[in-house]
């Protein structure tokens, strides 16, 4: 599942909790989910998200331009 779709499926509190676990802010994850400009997580954040999400979102789905 693409990272923006996954993040859209979360409630605000779930998104904030995930943000805390991966070392970013809920607001930044919201920008990834809903931003008008295509906002992608950086490489380090992509790795943390893929690890935390246990395969629900892969590295290639976080950053297809790097790991696609």
pLDDT by 10s per residue, the chain, length 68: 999 999 999 999 999 999 999 999 999 999 999 988 788 999 999 999 999 999 899 999 999 999 98
Confidence (pLDDT) at 35: 85
Distances (CA, A) of 31 to 17, 25: 16, 10
Residue 53 CB contacts under 8 Å (≥ 6 apart), including other chains = 6
pLDDT at 37: 78
pLDDT of residue 63: 92
Q: What is the pLDDT of residue 65?
A: 92
Q: What is the pTM of this model?
A: 0.90
């Amino acid at each position: 599942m693409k990272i923006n779709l996954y993040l859209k499926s979360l409630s605000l509190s779930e998104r904030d909790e995930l943000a805390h676990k991966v070392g970013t802010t809920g607001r930044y994850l919201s920008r990834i989910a809903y931003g008008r400009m295509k906002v992608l997580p950086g490489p380090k954040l992509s790795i943390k998200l893929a690890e935390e999400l246990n395969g629900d979102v892969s590295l290639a789905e976080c950053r297809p331009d790097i790991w696609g």
